[in-house]
A and B are shown apart, each in its own frame.
Chain A
Amino acid sequence: MIKFNKRGQWKIQQMVFMILAVFIFFILVGLFFLTWTSRDVRNSYEELEKEQAISSLKVITDMTEFNCGSRESLCVDKDKLRIMRGNLSLNYADFFEVESIEFYVLGNSSESFLIYDSGQSQQKKYSTYVSVCEKDSLSGYVYDKCEVGKVLVGVKLVNG
């Protein structure tokens, strides 16, 4: 039977314990860093989504698919909203690059137009006021009938 030196065994135990402690320390530091980094990624993502949503408000209302064609920014055509809330908007599913687009007419008619909704339940919505116009005719004269409206654009919430 081999006899081990007791002092040597004790030293090896000490060493193993130290190494384990150093490993656990590094793992804890690593985990802390990963948590901090993932929070940073999440914050950056949300910040970028927010910036995209805000800048998209003007881009979307200026699209020919919505704009009232009067060469005015933030002016949408009611006929186009009626068309886009129908089947045509299904083709545009990935095109808008936001989670949802809704328009509300705040005038007497109080109509709402849900143009697109990805089905994402956790959304943050950003909005701005727009003119909602439609071409009408009265006694042979064509004119633009406009009301105040609002456009809401939704983006995905990571923590929601």
Chain B
Amino acid sequence: MRSKSGEFDFSWLFAIIVGAMILVLAIYGVVRLSDTQRYQADTETAKKIEILTNPLQAGFAEGKFGTIEFRQTTRINNLCSSEKFGENKISVSTQSSIGDEWKMAGGEISVHNKYIFSSENQEGDNFYVLSKPFYFPFKVSDLTIMTSDKENYCFVDAPEIIEEDVLGLNIPNVFVENCSSAVDYVRVCFGAFGNCDIVVRGSCSSNCGEWDFYDTGIVEKNGATMSYIGNLLFGAIFSDENVYECNVKRLMYRASQIAEGFAERTDLMTARGCNTNLKADMVYLQGLTGNASSSNLVGIYQVAKQTELKNEQELCGLW
């Protein structure tokens, strides 16, 4: 490296400096490239979640259950916007063993035609997807409830019909009654007091069957109170308040649009001699649900129930 006179050879110095620059640039390029690859993979995963939940929709069943498995621990973010039909914005980040444990999430995928109830952020290797239909009084949509395998739920004092529902679907992270003390549970108490993380209080006041009692009510969770009707009970138990309230508004808007369609349908049916007197009810329901939130749920539900009774008595029912 040194010349005969003992001076540092210029060509070596030049090669070392430029070589170091090339190495630094190459390392920077590889890091940026791996970040881009990770971003792409995380965005694809978010899109796949949307697609994989399609066949898991309950459809005409009482409920459906499925599992989404990941190769490595994954964090799913669920942000909700309630403008008109609204959307769930799903993004995913994967756990990394190099550098920051959780890097920036991949691109957000907007899901407009599903109502995904979950925590705003949850981590796990497997995610359990439960789908339940939501009627108001006609079917509005399926509710997609997503929980992680890192959280176990214990239902305490649940009515038999809910117990059967949960046990029948074999949801691996939901247990009923004798929950082992070895596992850390989120305790969901039905009407009970004491050591409960989530409390469900039914609001039926008279002629209540076992399920009727919990047909409407409130769910108290993390200091928040969420009103529910029907299967929204599961949405309230398994999701954060923000996600729940937002999805309820979206569902109400969707119900108003369906009611508008039904109101128009009454004219077409009447023109064919298949008369129905439900037009005024549909217009009324449309007006009630257009800007409704969870605080209006129980009140509008009474109107919806009356409308359902009328529809059942019609020769040409609307739904």
Contacts of B258 on A, CB cut-off 8 Å? 64-65
Question: Does A12 sit within 8 A of B, measured CB to CB?
Answer: yes
B20 on the A face (CB < 8 A): no
Instruction: Report which of A12, A51, A62 forms a contact with B57, defined as CB distance below 8 A.
Output: A62
B10 contacts A8, C-beta separation under 8 Å = yes
Distance from A137 Cβ to chain B, minimum over Cβ atoms (Å): 5
Residues of B within 8 A of A44 (CB): 40, 44
> Chain A nearest CB: distance from B219 CB in Å?
26
CB distance from A94 to the nearest CB of B (A): 5
A79-B55 Cα distance, complex, nearest whole Å: 26
**What CA separation (Å) do A23 and B25 show in the bound complex?**
10
A48-B139 in contact (CB<8A): no
A82 in contact with B139 (CB, 8 Å)? no
Q: Which residues of A contact B273 (CB under 8 A)?
A: 136-137
Interface residues of B (CB under 8 A from A): 10-11, 14-15, 18, 22, 25-26, 29, 33, 36-37, 40, 44, 47-48, 50-51, 54-55, 57, 59-60, 84-85, 87, 110-113, 138-141, 257-258, 260-261, 264-265, 268-269, 272-274, 315-319
Q: Are B274 and A41 in contact (CB under 8 A)?
A: no
Q: What's the least CB distance linking B95 to chain A, in Å? A: 22
Report A9-55 residues with CB < 8 Å from chain B CB.
Answer: 11-12, 15, 19, 22-23, 26, 30, 33, 37, 41, 44, 48, 51-52, 55
A142 engages B113 (CB within 8 Å): no
Is A111 on the interface with B (CB-CB < 8 A)? no
Q: Is the interface of A mostly helix, strand, loop or mixed?
A: helix
CA–CA, A15 and B34, complex, Å: 31
* CA–CA, A30 and B26, complex, Å: 10
CB <8 Å contact, A26 and B261: no
**Roughly how many angstroms separate A69 CA and B276 CA in the complex, as a whole number?**
16
Assess whether B269 is in contact with A135, with CB atoms less than 8 Å apart.
Answer: yes
Q: Closest CB-CB distance, B7 to chain A, in whole Å? A: 12
Q: Using a Cβ cutoff of 8 Å, how many contacts connect chains A and B?
A: 115
Q: Chain A's nearest CB lies how many Å from the CB of B83?
A: 10
Residues on A with C-beta less than 8 A from B84 are 91
B10 contact set on A, CB distance < 8 A:
8, 12
Q: How far is the CB of B182 from chain A (nearest CB, A)?
A: 39
Residues of A within 8 A of B44 (CB): 44, 48
25 A-B residue contacts at CB 8 Å? A15-B18, A26-B22, A26-B26, A37-B36, A44-B40, A48-B47, A48-B48, A48-B51, A52-B50, A59-B54, A59-B57, A62-B59, A65-B257, A69-B317, A71-B60, A86-B264, A88-B257, A94-B110, A96-B113, A97-B113, A134-B272, A135-B274, A136-B272, A136-B273, A136-B274
B85 near A94 (CB under 8 angstroms)? yes
User: Are B261 and A80 within 8 A (Cβ)?
Assistant: yes
Partner of A73, one of B47, B60, B110: B60
- Least Cβ–Cβ distance between B52 and chain A, in angstroms: 9
CB–CB A88/B260 < 8 A: yes
List chain B residues, Cβ under 8 A from A56: 54
A84 within 8 A of B: yes
A101 to chain B, nearest CB (A): 12
Rounded to whole Å, the gap between the CB of A119 and the closest CB of chain B is: 18
Cβ-defined contact, B112 with A135, below 8 A: no
Contacts of B25 in A (CB 8 A): 26
A72 touches which one: B29, B60, B140 (CB < 8 A)?
Answer: B60
Question: Distance (Å) between the CB of B249 and the closest chain A CB?
Answer: 15
List of B residues within 8 angstroms of A134 by Cβ = 272
CB-based contact B113/A79 at 8 Å: no
Please, which residue of chain B has its CB at the minimum distance from the CB of A140?
Answer: B315
The chain A residue with its CB closest to the CB of B11 is: A11
Most buried by A among B14, B258, B264: B264
